[in-house]
Structure 1
Amino acid sequence: MSILFRALPSVDKVLDALTASSEFSHIPRSIVREHVNGFLDVCREEIRAGVVTEPEQLGLEVLIPRMQAYVRAQARPHFRRVLNGTGVVVHTNLGRSLLADSAVEAVKEACAHYSNLEFDLATGERGSRYSHVEELLCQVCGAEAGLVVNNNAAAVMIVLDTLCKDKEVPVSRGQLVEIGGSFRIPEVMEKSGATLREVGATNRTHVKDYEQVITEETGALLRVHTSNYRIVGFHKEVSLEDMVALGKKYDLPVIEDLGSGSFTDFSALRIGEEPTVQQVVGAGADVVTFSGDKVLGGPQAGIIVGKKKYIDMIKRNPMNRALRIDKMTLAALEATLRLYREPELAREQIPTLSMMFAELPKLKQRARRLANRIKKTFGDQVAVSVVDGNSRVGGGSFPERDLPTALVAIVPTVVSETVLKKALLDTTPPLVGRIEQQAFCLDPRTLTDKEFSLVIEALQQALQAVSQ
C-alpha cells in the first residue's frame, strides 16, 4: 500500500497538466489546486479499499481523464440551468416563470450599462425608479396608481404596515392561507403590526360576520384569494362587490391579495375561473397585490395597484426602500408589461402563457418527434413510447386542475427508471422529469424544441454513468 501511495503524482505535477488545458485556464489556480487535492484523496481511498492495486493505475496519463472529469464537475456553478421535463409550467423549485426574449434582453442591457434607473432624462434631476413601470401597470389593469416591491408577501406586508398598523383587520377563516415555505397570512399580518380578527367559519363566511367585528379600531377589510387551494362543497365567501359596498359603508379601504395575479383570461383552458387583476380593480378594490413571477410570466416581484391616495401612502412608507426591486427586475418587468398591451402578443411571446395555451395536437406531435430521436439514438438501451398525461400550471395557481398533454415515457433496459431519474440530476445540464406507471416521463410542454438536443445529451451522460 505504501508503494501505491508513493506512486501518486504530486499535486503540482497534476496542476501543471490541468492548467495547460484551455478548458481550465479561466479557473483560479488556487481553486483548481483544491479540487486536485480532493481527487487525490479519492485515489487514496481507492487504494485503502483495494480498488487500485497496481502502480500503473496511478500514472499521470492514466489519471488525467478522470481528474479532468472530477475538476469539471466540482468547478461548475452551484446555481445553474436545469431542463424542466416535469410538465409543471410555473415550477417553484425550478425558478418559476421563464422570461420572454424581450425581457431577457432588457435584463442584459440593464446589467451591462449605466441606466436612468433613478434619473429623469427630461429634467436632468433625480427621478423615481417606479416611473418606468407605473404607467404601464395602470394601462394594463386600469388602476389609478401602482408600485412594485420584491415579492407578494412583501407587498401584503407593506400595505398592511401602511394602512393598518396598530389596527384590526378582519379576515375570513377560510382565507388564512399558507403562502409557501411556511409563510402564513397570520404571521405576515403580525409582522406588519396589524391585528388579525378572524371572522366566519372555515367553509362559510357572510357579510354580517365582518360587520359584527368592525369598530373604530378597524383599519381595513382584507380578502385573500385562495389561489393555491380549493374548498368545494358547502362553501360561501363574501364577494368582492359586497366587500367593496361594506368598505364604503364604513369608510374602510378594501385590500385584495390575489396571490398569483393574472392579466389573462384562462377560461378557454377549462382549468377553473380565476379573477384577473383588471376585474378586481374594476370591481372597486382599493388596493390589489399579486405576484409577478407566477402566471403573469415576469420576474419575481410583488405588484401593488389601486387608488392613488392609498398607493401614495404606501410609497412614502420607509419600508419601501428595504423592499424595493433592483434594476434587473425593473427592466424585466417593464418588458413583460409592454407585451401585455397586446394580449395576443403576450400569449405568443411570454413563455408561461405560450406553454399554458399549447394545443394538445401540437404537444403530441412534438412528443413523437422527441421519442423518435431517443429511439434512434439509444436503440435497445431504452423502450420509448408516447402516452397520454397531464401537465400542471404550478406556482400555487389553479390547484388540482390539469392540462392534457402527451408524455414521452422512457423505460431503460439496463437499470430501473428510478436510477435513471437520479442519474439525470448529475448531468450537464441536469434533466428533471417524473415517474409514472414505472416509466421515466418527459412532458414536451415545458421543454423547447431547441432543448431536445440537450435532452439527448443528458440521457447519453446518464446512461453511460449507470452502465459503468
Structure 2
Amino acid sequence: MLIWRIEAKLSNETLGGHLDASRRPPQVDSVKRSELLAAFPEAVRTEAARRAIDDYRRAASQGPSPSREEVERAARAHAERLTGPRVRTVLNASGVILHTGLGRARLAPSVAKALAGAAEGHLALEVDLTTGSRGDRQEVMREMISKVVGGESSFVVNNCAAAVYCALSALGSGKEVLLSRGEMVEIGGSFRMPEVIEASGCRLVEVGCTNKTRLADYERAMNPETAVIVRCHRSNFKMTGFVESPSSQELAELARSRGIVFLEDVGSGCLVDTSQFGAPKWYRVQDALAAGAHIVAFSGDKLLGGPQAGLLVGDGTLMDRIARHPSARASRVDKLTVVALSETLRLYWTGRSLEIPTLAYLARSLETVRGYAERIASAAGVETAIEEGITEIGGGCGEGEGVATVRVGLASRDPIALATSLRQGEPSVLTRIERGRVWIDPRTLEPEEVEAVVGVLKSKEEWE
C-alpha cells in the first residue's frame, strides 16, 4: 500500500528541516472531504486525514513532496486500517507451533464452530434444564476432564498461574510452601513462581541448591507450619550435568506421610505420548496423577491444544476447598472458555485428537511438509534454499525441542525489510530470519494457507 511506501522513504534518516510555502501540506478539512473517504464516518475521516498529513510532512522533509492524490490514497489506507479488525489473523510460518505472540494453540475447526454458536446465542451455562434450578459452569468441564485425564475432581480458572495461585491461596495461605531452588522459574511476562507463591499469602521456603535438591532437603525444611510442597517443571529451560532431584512419586509419598499437600505444576498440559510423532516424550498430566500428586496444575492452550485456561485436577476434597475460596471467583472462566475446553477434551475422548491442530502439526509427515516447502519455493521470485530443520514446540514446552521439518529460505538483500513486508501484507505471513535469509516453515500451515503463501509470493512485485 502507498502508506507503507511513503513511510519507507523515511526510515533511514532522522527527520528534520522545515517546509517552504510551496510544500505546505493540505488542510485536514480538505483531505477528509476526499471522495476516497466518503464511505467512512466523520471521526474516521478526520483521524485518517491527520495521519496522512503527518506522513506528508515526514516525506517532504526528506525529499519530493507527495502529490495530493498520494495523500488522499494514504488517507484511504489509514481509514481502512482504522476500521478493520484490530487483531489480525496471521499465517504462522515462524517455525514455532505454540507461538505465544500468536495466541498459542490453534483451536480445532469443530471447536471453533461450537464457539461461534456459543458467542451468538444463549447457553445453559449455569441452568439445569431438567429441574430449572441453578447449575454449575464447572460441571460440563469436570465431566470431560474426568473422562480424559482422570482424577477425583477438577477446577478450571483462566490460566495456569492463576490455578497455582488459587490452590495455594485456599490451601496454604499464612503457612509455608516448599519449592526447590532449581524450580524457581520465570513463567513469562516477567512473572516468577516465587512471586506467585508469595502473592497467594504463603511463605516461600527455598529448598536445596540450584542444581541439586534431594529428598532430605525437603525433609529438613518441614515443620508444623509447612502446608504444601510445590514442584514446578522446568518447561522453558534445561538443566544438565551435575544435577539431581527427587521423583514426583518420592515427593508425593513424603507429603502424604507428613499430612501435607503435594502440588505438581506440569505446565504443558500434555495428554498423549508425543514420542509417537517423533517429538520428545513429554511428562503427561496422567503421569503426575499416577505418581500420587494431590493436585496437578496445567495449561489449556499449550500441548492440550485448547483455549487459554488453568486446570487443576486431583483430590476432590481439596478441589472443593479451592472452589469455595474468593480467588476462584476472581479467576472464573467465561462461557467461551467453557465451551472451547469442553469441546477440545471431547475430541480426545472420542478418539479424534488429531483434529486438534497442535497435535496434527506434530503428527504431520516430513514428506507432506517437504511437498509444501517445494510448492512455496516454486512461487518465489528470488533464489531459494530448501533445507531440513526443527519446528519448535514453543509455549514454554521444552526449550528448543520440537519435530523435524523442511523449510524454505528466501534470499534477500534486506531480510528485515522482506520479513516486514510479508508480515504487514495481506494475508500476514510470520517468518523467521536466519543466516541472511527469510525462512518459511510450512509445518504449521493448513493446505489452503500454503496456497495463500504461494499467492503472496507470486503477487509480490518488488523483492527486498
Do both proteins adopt the same fold according to a TM-score greater than 0.5, normalized to the shorter chain? Answer: yes
In structure 2, how many angstroms separate the alpha carbons of the residues matched to 1:422 and 1:147?
42
What is residue 315 of structure 1 aligned with on the other side? 323
Amino acid aligned to 1:199? V
In structure 2, how many angstroms separate the alpha carbons of the residues matched to 1:314 and 1:144?
14
* CA RMSD, 1 decimal: 2.2
Contact between 1:423 and 1:462, CA under 8 Å: does it hold in 2? Answer: no
SS in structure 2 of the partner of residue 397 of structure 1: coil
Tell me the CA shift for residue 460 of structure 1: 6.0
What is residue 36 of structure 2 aligned with on the other side? 18
**Mapping of residues 166-205 of structure 1, within 5 Å:** 166-205=174-213
Tell me the CA shift for residue 28 of structure 1: 2.8
SS in structure 1 of the partner of residue 263 of structure 2: strand
SS in structure 1 of the partner of residue 398 of structure 2: strand
**Mapping of residues 288-307 of structure 1, within 5 Å:** 288-307=296-315
Contact between 1:142 and 1:282, CA under 8 Å: does it hold in 2? Answer: no
Contact between 2:375 and 2:454, CA under 8 Å: does it hold in 1? Answer: no
1:42 aligned residue (51, 55, 80): 55
Tell me the CA shift for residue 286 of structure 1: 0.8
Tell me: CA distance 1:248–1:75, structure 2 relative to 1, closer, same or farther (3 Å). Answer: same
Contact between 1:147 and 1:303, CA under 8 Å: does it hold in 2? Answer: yes
Tell me the CA shift for residue 12 of structure 1: 5.2
Amino acid aligned to 1:260? S
What is residue 407 of structure 1 aligned with on the other side? 407
In structure 1, how many angstroms separate the alpha carbons of the residues matched to 2:229 and 2:60?
70
In structure 2, how many angstroms separate the alpha carbons of the residues matched to 1:231 and 1:45?
50
In structure 2, how many angstroms separate the alpha carbons of the residues matched to 1:193 and 1:14?
56
2:108 aligned residue (97, 100, 106): 100
What is residue 84 of structure 2 aligned with on the other side? 76
In structure 2, how many angstroms separate the alpha carbons of the residues matched to 1:419 and 1:3?
33
SS in structure 1 of the partner of residue 252 of structure 2: helix
1:446 aligned residue (428, 438, 444): 444
Tell me the CA shift for residue 457 of structure 1: 4.6
What is residue 114 of structure 1 aligned with on the other side? 122
2:238 aligned residue (230, 234, 237): 230
In structure 2, how many angstroms separate the alpha carbons of the residues matched to 1:130 and 1:16?
54
- Report how many aligned residue pairs link the two structures: 445
In structure 1, how many angstroms separate the alpha carbons of the residues matched to 2:401 and 2:56?
51
What is residue 365 of structure 1 aligned with on the other side? 371
Corresponding position: 1:219 with 2:227:
yes
In structure 1, how many angstroms separate the alpha carbons of the residues matched to 2:177 and 2:416?
49
Can you list the C-alpha shifts for 1:289-336, whole angstroms capped at 9, x where unaligned?
000001111000000110100001000001111101111111111110
Q: TM-score if structure 2 supplies the norm length? A: 0.90
1:351 aligned residue (354, 357, 360): 357
What is residue 51 of structure 1 aligned with on the other side? 64
In structure 2, how many angstroms separate the alpha carbons of the residues matched to 1:89 and 1:140?
23
Identity %: 36
In structure 1, how many angstroms separate the alpha carbons of the residues matched to 2:167 and 2:61?
63
Amino acid aligned to 1:77? P
Tell me the CA shift for residue 410 of structure 1: 1.0
Tell me the CA shift for residue 155 of structure 1: 0.3
Contact between 2:372 and 2:450, CA under 8 Å: does it hold in 1? Answer: no
Amino acid aligned to 1:17? E
Tell me the CA shift for residue 163 of structure 1: 0.6
What is residue 433 of structure 2 aligned with on the other side? 435
In structure 1, how many angstroms separate the alpha carbons of the residues matched to 2:83 and 2:195?
40
Q: Which moved more, 1:390-399 or 1:10-19?
A: 10-19
Q: TM-score if structure 1 supplies the norm length? A: 0.89
Amino acid aligned to 1:278? Q
Can you list the C-alpha shifts for 1:92-131, whole angstroms capped at 9, x where unaligned?
1121110001111121111101111111112111111111
In structure 1, how many angstroms separate the alpha carbons of the residues matched to 2:217 and 2:63?
75
Corresponding position: 1:418 with 2:410:
no
In structure 2, how many angstroms separate the alpha carbons of the residues matched to 1:326 and 1:251?
35
What is residue 335 of structure 1 aligned with on the other side? 343
Q: Which moved more, 1:100-109 or 1:302-311?
A: 100-109
Listed as ranges, the gaps of 5+ residues in structure 2 are 1-19
